[in-house]
Amino acid sequence: MEDTVKTRDCFVSNSSSSSFILPKKDLTLEQIRGFTSWVNIYNEQEFGKDDDHHVTETSNYFFGSVSYNCSIREQLAGLRIEDDQYDLEG
């Protein structure tokens, strides 16, 4: 069975946000591709709305600040990325 990434529209309320860092070293290629897809969608939705909410991808990490209501934990869990594989504040 093929894994799929679920996405949903995000919105900012009270400017609540979560900051995170996700090292790529322990991720599978499928997880990296799936999260990259989500990052692209998230950044497109947030572009121009609020400079504080943006996700960056480098060769070794994903990191950024996302609106709290996006529930980044759900996105990570959907890709089977475990809680101990990333740092999340907020």
**How far, in Å, are 14, 42, 46, 47, 52 from residue 56 at the CA level?**
23, 11, 13, 13, 12
Enter the pTM of the model: 0.72
Residue 15 lies in a domain: no
> What mean pLDDT is reported for the chain?
78
Name every residue whose Cβ is closer than 8 Å to that of residue 57 and which is 6 or more positions away in sequence: 36, 39
**pLDDT attached to residue 43:** 83
Number of domains in the chain: 1
User: Is there a domain that residue 54 lies in?
Assistant: yes
Could you report the per-residue pLDDT of 15-57, keeping only the tens digit for each? 567 888 999 999 999 999 999 998 888 888 766 565 667 889 9
Looking at the domain assignment, is residue 16 inside a domain?
A: no
Tokens of 51: 């400079």
In a domain, 6, yes or no: no
Radius of gyration of the chain (CA): 12
Confidence label for 70 from pLDDT (cuts 50, 70 and 90): low
Q: Is residue 53 part of a domain?
A: yes
Q: 32 lies in which domain range?
A: 24-82
At 62, the pLDDT band (50, 70, 90 cuts) reads very high
Report if residue 36 sits inside a domain.
Answer: yes
